[in-house]
Structure 1
Amino acid sequence: MEELGDTAYKTIIYWKGFQMTRCYMSESKTTYRCGYYRGRRGGPGCLAKLNVMPQGRVKEKRFPHTCCSTSRRNRERLPTSSQPNAGEVIEISDESSDGQSHHRNRKM
């Protein structure tokens, strides 16, 4: 449970890249639900929950996340085929003298 640390007074934690918000607390457990529980822009919410016991045990409920958009995980965007990593863009051009496609890498 290294990723959680002391959760006794936290209302928001991050678990495996997802933001979880405290929704229930008792002597036996603290329950967190996905930050997208209510959904966005009228869309369906995520039902993933996490139970944290006082001894440090963690039980995942209703996993995997139903919100699972990769852009929501830690606010990171995974590279697309036209953008291999955050600092490099590939430009593809069909205009060449020998009729073959060429590409060049450009650092941003």
Structure 2
Amino acid sequence: MDLNQIWHQFIDHLLDNDEITQASIKKITGIPFIYIHYHPAPNDDGKLSLLIKTAASLSMRGKQLHCETIFVRQEEHLYVFRHRFYVPQQKMFCCGNLCPDCILYRS
């Protein structure tokens, strides 16, 4: 699974929306940030986070990925979010504590 391809799909899905004029990714100290130029229609508060979730879910479809998006700041029509895609961690061995997600219970 190539994470760069997923990032490109994510940005393409974001740019498919009419309200988003520009979107880019910048990595600062290894943490990816998305910069979005968003011009909302009147009375559309909170729609941007829904657009980000929708674009991320379309990019992750069919893959074992999760995402996390955290709002950082806003200046006029520029919105900055900390966004990352990550693979969920699964147990690789039995620790002997009788965990409900133990690998011994997998078929």
- Normalising by the residue count of structure 2, what TM-score does the alignment of the two structures yield? 0.27
- Structure number with the higher helix fraction is 2
Larger radius of gyration: 1
Higher RCO (CA < 8 A, seq sep 6+): 2
- Normalising by the residue count of structure 1, what TM-score does the alignment of the two structures yield? 0.27
